[in-house]
Amino acid sequence: MAQINDNYLKLKTGYLFPEIARRVKEFQDKNPKAELIRLGIGDVVLPLPPSVIKAFHEGVDEMADSRTFRGYGPEQGYPFLIEAIIKNDFQSRGINLKPTEVFVSDGSKCDVGNIQELFGLKTVVAVTDPVYPVYVDTNIMAGRSIIYLPATVENNFDPPLPSQKVDLVYLCSPNNPTGTVMNKSALEKWVDYARKNESIILFDAAYEAFISDASLPHSIYEIEGAKEVAIELRSFSKTAGFTGTRCAYTVVPEEVMAKDSSGKKHPLNPLWLRRQTTKFNGVSYPVQKAAAACYTMEGKKEIKKQIDYTMNNARLILEGLAKAGLQTNGGINAPYIWLKTPQKMDSWNFFDKLLGECHVVGTPGSGFGPSGEGYFRLNAFGFVEKIKEAVHRIQTQLQIEEKL
């Protein structure tokens, strides 16, 4: 009989969203007339912007004509998309990248999950806690253990540097779930740590498009020296509504190095290229064409309008929760609102309370790691009418005894 990878038995996953679904179903069965508003799962609701759809259609039509049909493309992505990415996302902020440093993929979740394959099993991994569960689970699957760096109200959701030496650290800014954005000095502190300790930073910037404060960095490469120590992940998912269309990219600068078991240094870029060309056959042509349309003048305008729509929702939630007497974080340069449960309530009890009293579904903070206990996540994706209704219900129906 084949033997399983025992590490899979150590996973705590499959718990959070199925448990939410179970509780929601139980509630609906008992209260069939209740109109639920779901602000739990971080998925977008607005359709793909018009210029993206137009390019998508054109791409499909090209596939229908033998003169323009395309089979396998380059595994790392078509040059037209890579060039648009470099010019618009990086050169515009003073960062120069080579086309060979950008790898287009079908999602940041896959990339951030796959990248750990490049590292040895003894690699010491740190994550900020609460955390996007993919960082943790993919390392557990491989058999690594994890160091948690707690991010709480007490440290302003900016965890201190690890007291021991770590080899790999996952940073997510703007953060899912806390909505915190790292400023320049916070990022400098990490780049400096990584350079001193020969660590590598995996910087997840899936939400960079939601930053409106001009002083905040969008890319870790805005920090001097970061190209030597950081890999950056970006996605079209939340930016342009690609969660169901699938396109993202990862930047692996040529300077980023790690050592082999004999201590010899190797650049990671060729290893990632080797991994991708072996295990991945590229993103479909129409999807890459659609992604490239995000960088046209029209595309940029349409995307900005969608982001503004979401961030207006975030503002409504923040204002509403403050009026309801709840303490919040995030929601200003990120589409997530991370609230402190009232009266130190446990996250799941608050979930049940919000569901029972307001018919609003959110995500219990404890699902994102030990330091998420006592917190709760709401997201600002959603139609404004629903958001307004949810906020109204929270203000009028949520029973909080002691207002903050």
Ligand X SMILES: *Cc1c(COP(=O)(O)O)cnc(C)c1O
Contacting residues toward ligand X, per CB under 6 A: 42, 107-109, 132, 172, 176, 204, 206, 235, 237-238, 243, 248
Residue 225 CB, shortest distance to ligand X, in Å, is: 24
For residues 233 and 394, which CB has a smaller minimum distance to ligand X in the complex? 233
Considering only CA atoms, which of 103, 135, 99 is closest in space to residue 119? 135
For residues 209 and 248, which CB has a smaller minimum distance to ligand X in the complex? 248
For residues 366 and 338, is the Cβ–Cβ distance under 8 A?
no
For residues 134 and 400, which CB has a smaller minimum distance to ligand X in the complex? 134
Q: What one-character-per-residue DSSP string does 72-113 give?
A: S--TT--HHHHHHHIIIIIGGGT----GGGEEEES-HHHHHH
For residues 328 and 339, is the Cβ–Cβ distance under 8 A?
yes
Residue 16 CB, shortest distance to ligand X, in Å, is: 13
Residue 127 CB, shortest distance to ligand X, in Å, is: 11
For residues 173 and 359, which CB has a smaller minimum distance to ligand X in the complex? 173
Q: Where are the beta strands (DSSP E) in 334-374?
A: 336-340, 360-361, 363-364
What is the Cα–Cα distance from 375 to 198, expressed in whole angstroms? 34
Residue 369 CB, shortest distance to ligand X, in Å, is: 13
Residue 262 CB, shortest distance to ligand X, in Å, is: 34
For residues 371 and 398, which CB has a smaller minimum distance to ligand X in the complex? 371
Residue 222 CB, shortest distance to ligand X, in Å, is: 19
What is the Cα–Cα distance from 127 to 8, expressed in whole angstroms? 19
Q: What angle do CA 200, 283, 45 make, to 5 degrees?
A: 90
Question: Residue 271 in 3-state DSSP?
Answer: helix
Residue 335 CB, shortest distance to ligand X, in Å, is: 9
Q: Where are the beta strands (DSSP E) in 162-264?
A: 168-172, 200-204, 230-235, 248-251, 257-259
Residue 234 CB, shortest distance to ligand X, in Å, is: 8
Show Cβ contacts of residue 136 under 8 Å, excluding neighbours closer than 6 positions: 127, 146, 369
For residue 110, what are the CA distances in angstroms to 28, 130, 142?
34, 20, 15
For residues 176 and 313, which CB has a smaller minimum distance to ligand X in the complex? 176
Residue 388 CB, shortest distance to ligand X, in Å, is: 24
For residues 249 and 393, which CB has a smaller minimum distance to ligand X in the complex? 249
What is the Cα–Cα distance from 221 to 231, expressed in whole angstroms? 9
Chain residue at closest Cβ approach to ligand X: 107
For residues 51 and 108, which CB has a smaller minimum distance to ligand X in the complex? 108
For residues 176 and 329, which CB has a smaller minimum distance to ligand X in the complex? 176
Encode burial over 307-340: b for 16+ CB neighbours within 10 A, e otherwise: bebbbebbebbbebbeebebebbbbbbbbbbbbb
Q: What share of the chain is helix, strand, coil (3-state, %, to 5)?
A: 45, 15, 40
